Structure formats: structure tokens, C-alpha cells
Amino acid sequence: MADQLPPFHVCIIGSGPAGAFAANVLARNGYSVAVVEAGGSLVDSDPGNVIDEQRSNIVGGVKFGFSQQIGGSSNLWAGFIARFNPIDFVERPQFNAPGWLINLADLEPYYARVDDYFRIRRRQDEGDEKLRPVTAQSAINAHETILLEPPFETSTLVRKQARIHLLDNSPARRLIWETGSTSIREVELLEMKSGRFRRLRARTFIVAAGTLTNIRLLLHSLAERKGTMPKNYDLIGRGFSTHPKAYVGAIKLNRQLQWDHPFISLERLATHSRIYQFGLDERVLLDKGLLNHCLRFEPPFRNRLHRAFERAKNLLAHAPLVGGGKGVLADQVARLGRQAYIALDKITPRGAPPDWLAARLFLDQAVRPENRVTLSSRHSPSGLPLAVLDWRFTEDDWWSAESFLKAFDVEVRRLGIGSFTFKRPVQHKFTAIHSHFLGGTPMGSDPNFAVLNANLRVHGVDNLYVSGPSVFPSYGYANPFYTVAALSIRLGDHLTMVLDKQKSAA
């Protein structure tokens, strides 16, 4: 018999960006929150407790980048954040993208609140004059990317916070239904230190454990009710994607660019630093039927450093002494690696400006139901089935990417900057799966085509919500951290309103 814990207003499964911001908002508004976390204080990047790699089918290189620990993936990232673009939210049937139930204007106040957490201040017009020679005379669109210094770790939002009860080293096993109801009553979890299963009751539950575990937990827990929600249940895990990336070529410059050119500059502002990545104007993307891909340019010295760093990181990740991606040594290596990555981008260049630039492409993808996550017959120690990934980047996806690069080359030539030569990367140099796991529990108004409603509640379940990049109906190119944090704050506000109404009615 599992031990029973006292009831809470809200139980949040996961302490990374998807869960921590909502937990902090709810606690500040006076509600008791239990945060259930599978890991502890140290990095645990061993995919063996999440993914069945042997049964998964992935085309391209695999570099899993996540951590089961307090703060989740925020312990690994280098602090780069970027907002989504307006086109990322709109319906695009040719890519099977249904559109979001919110738009960029809806998210703007939540992005601003994320800025408050990060303690960054900026003016909307910062950098406009510097960008004008590129963006005003071409269809090139500049995407601002902020570098936080230091990166923000979401563990600070849930540790030692009033009204937040953190249960670490306690992976969730399943959600348990209220008998004869369409509500979840409690979550069963494994207390790793004692080896006991315990149960935690709450009024409301948020699954915010990262895309793969969100999908695993929903498929495993809702299976007994799939007869009453068959279409909605079948959608869970479908449309899974990531942000593939690869070096795809170089720009041969007609003249040397100065180090303050937006293609290669890093600006140090009062509260943060900034770089730019580059895509195409929304009008061109729509007219040509292209996805929202994005390029980042690197001068030769930085490109060589980045490639050397990636090789060293990959070798170190497989070194037996590091402990399989978990433990004290793995934690130290991960933190040193993050510091080194940030340092590479902040190196002040010396000598003559470059006469060529390496181009790294960050890829968007069409929504494909056949790209999906299912459950394995193998289980993690908690008893939750592992994830089986079936993911491909198709010829249609490559056509979109290469058409984007051709259109970008036209604009580079129009500006007189140079010529862009590119080619498709060989398979092992194409990073297919890494840290940005997206989709699989998308929001949408119709339960026949979506798992969640506009407030991220599971269709057909009264008190179960999902948070994180698994809720995205489409993907874009950008690191999802900023948008995940904004949506988490939005969810915290919504549940505060729901709980306030319940209190008033009592």
C-alpha cells in the first residue's frame, strides 16, 4: 500500500522551466504547491531512464541534452533566449500546422514578466539603427537572441520557497483517477531514498516534466480511459519534433565585415548581451511556402573553436570516468562545459576582420503525425514505461530548408555582401535529436485534433494540465526556453484565477 501525503492545492510534476515558473506564481498568490522532481541536485543526463534507444528509430545524429534534476534543463543551457516570431503562431495547412490558440501579442506581457525574473532591461528600439543596412534593404529578418549572464536556473524558484513543498528524487509513476469522475485524484511516485511508493493528492495537477516524460506519463496514466476519449488519446505523442541543426556552408564575402557588423557582433548591454540570428521576412516565407528556419554566422576563429569544443564535449560525454552522464563528476563537467560554451561566444576578436563566414542552420519542420513517441515494454525504475522515438527529417523537409538557403543567398547577393555556398550535411553531422524536444501534446480547440485547450488543460479531464514545449502545435526555430517560461507564468495566472473562484464559492 502506497503511503499517502497531505493534500495540496496544486501538484506540479517537474521543476524545470515548464513547472517552476507556474509553481512560483501560485505560491506567491497564497496557494500550496507540491513540486515532484525525478532527480536531485546533481546533473543526471543518462537517457536510459527516459528513452528506449534500442527500439527508437531516428534519422540523423543523436545528442540527448537534458537532465533529470532540480531545475531540469535550466542547469545545462548557456542562457540564450529568443522570442518566437508572429509566423510561428499562425495556421499553415501546407505544413499541417493548425495554428496556436494564442498569438505573439497575447504572449508579450508574459515575455515581459520573464524578463523581470531574469532582471534584464531593454528598449524595444535597441539595435534598430545597426540592423537597418541589412534589414531595410533586403528580405532578411534579424532575430534578437539574448545571452543571460549568468544563465538562470529555475531551481531558485522552487527551493526554500514559502508554500512550495519540493519532493526531489521522486519520479512520478502514474496519475490516478477519481473513481467515477473525469478528474485526477492523486499521483503515485517512487521515493528513491526509501524505495517506497507514495501517493500525493491535490485539487489540480500540472505535468511539466519535459516533452518525453509528459507524453510517457499521459499515455501510461490515461490509457484506462482512452475508450471515452479515443481520438484525443491517439494524438498524445504524435507530431513530436526537435530543432535539427547543422553547418551547411559559408558566405564568401565580397569585402571584409567589421567586427560590429550584426552578422558577427556580440553586443554587451547593461543587463545582458545580445547576438543576432537571421531568417527571412514573413512575407517571403508565406509567398514562397517556406518554414521559419534560421541562420547563425560564425567567423573562422569562432567556428574552429566551436567545432573543437563539440568534439571534445562528445568525447567526454562517452568517457567511462564521467559516470554515464550522472553523479558529481558529470555535474562538474556539465557546468564547466556550459561556462566554456559561453566563453567561446564572448571572446574578443583580434586581427583583421574575416573574409568568409561559416553558416549554421537551425531548422523548423512540418508537423508530421508519423513522427511520434510511443511507450516501450521496458520501464524506468519507477515503473513508468520508457519512450520509443520514431522521427525522420523527410525530403520535403530538406526541400524547404534548401529553398530557404537559396532565397537567403539571393538576399546576400542583393546587399553586395557576398555569395552563399551550401550543401546538405552528411547524416552523422546532422544533429537530429538534442535538447529541444517539441510537440506531442498540442493545444487546440477541438479534442479530435488536439490534446489540450487554450489554457493547457487536457480535453476531457477536469483538473489535469500540461506545461512545456510538448504543448506547441508547431515548432519554429527558436530555443523554446523563453516561450516555455512565458506559458508557465500564464498557466500560473490561470490556475490562480480558478482557485480564487473556488475559494469564493466555498
* Out of 7-16, 25-34, 214-223, 270-279, least confident range: 270-279
What residues contact residue 112 under an 8 Å CB cut-off, 6+ apart?
Answer: none
C-alpha to C-alpha distances, 15 to 75, 317, 487, 499, nearest whole angstrom: 11, 24, 15, 21
Average pLDDT, integer, range 373-381: 96
- pLDDT, greater one: 467 or 326: 467
Q: What is the pLDDT of residues 379-400, one digit of tens each?
A: 999 999 999 999 998 899 999 9
Q: What is the pLDDT of residues 48-76, one digit of tens each?
A: 889 998 899 887 666 777 788 898 888 87
How does residue 285 score in pLDDT terms, banded at 50, 70 and 90? very high
Rg (the chain; Cα; Å):
23
What residues contact residue 46 under an 8 Å CB cut-off, 6+ apart?
Answer: 324, 325, 326
- pLDDT, greater one: 336 or 287: 287
Q: What is the pLDDT of residues 176-223, one digit of tens each?
A: 999 999 999 999 999 999 999 999 999 999 999 999 999 999 999 999
* Out of 336-345, 389-398, 416-425, least confident range: 336-345
How does residue 243 score in pLDDT terms, banded at 50, 70 and 90? confident
Rounded-to-integer distance, Cα 168 and Cα 175, Å: 18
CB 8 within 8 A of CB 207: no
**CATH for 8:** 3.50.50.60
Q: What is the pLDDT at residue 487?
A: 98
Q: What is the pLDDT at residue 506?
A: 73
Grid cell locating 472:
506547441
Rounded-to-integer distance, Cα 47 and Cα 53, Å: 8
Query: How many distinct structural domains can be found in the chain?
Result: 1
pLDDT at 235 over 50: yes
Q: What is the pLDDT at residue 428?
A: 72
pLDDT at 318 over 60: no
How does residue 321 score in pLDDT terms, banded at 50, 70 and 90? very low
pLDDT at 328 over 70: no
Write the single-letter amino acid at 375. L
Q: What is the pLDDT at residue 341?
A: 62
pLDDT at 306 over 80: no
What residues contact residue 123 under an 8 Å CB cut-off, 6+ apart?
Answer: none
- By CB neighbour count within 10 A (0-12 exposed, 13-18 middle, 19+ buried), where does 224 fall? exposed
Average pLDDT, integer, range 321-327: 57
Q: What is the pTM of this model?
A: 0.93
Closest-CA residue to 306 (of 347, 254, 266): 347
- pLDDT, greater one: 269 or 285: 285
- By CB neighbour count within 10 A (0-12 exposed, 13-18 middle, 19+ buried), where does 210 fall? buried
CA angle 350, 355, 357 (to 5 degrees): 90
Place of cell 502506497: 2
What percentage of the chain carries pLDDT values higher than 90? Answer: 66
Q: In the Cβ-directed half-sphere of 441, how many Cα atoms lie within 13 Å?
A: 32
Closest-CA residue to 376 (of 188, 133, 212): 212
Grid cell locating 191:
521515493
pLDDT at 475 over 90: yes
pLDDT at 504 over 50: yes
Closest-CA residue to 304 (of 243, 361, 247): 247
How does residue 344 score in pLDDT terms, banded at 50, 70 and 90? low
Residue 280 structural domain: 3-505
Rounded-to-integer distance, Cα 315 and Cα 197, Å: 38
One-character DSSP codes across 322-381: GTTTBSHHHHHHHHHHHHHHHHHHHPPP-SSPPSEEEEEEE------TTSEEEEEEEE-T
Rounded-to-integer distance, Cα 19 and Cα 466, Å: 9
Grid cell locating 396:
520535403
Average pLDDT, integer, range 92-114: 96
Q: Chain-wide mean pLDDT for the chain?
A: 89
- pLDDT, greater one: 332 or 175: 175
* Out of 55-59, 269-273, 330-334, least confident range: 330-334
pLDDT at 431 over 90: no
Strand pairing class (385-391; 184-191): unpaired
Q: What is the pLDDT at residue 1?
A: 47
Grouping H, G, I as helix, E, B as strand and the rest as coil, residue 159 is coil
Element (H, E) at 183: none
Q: What is the pLDDT at residue 197?
A: 95
Q: What is the pLDDT at residue 28?
A: 97
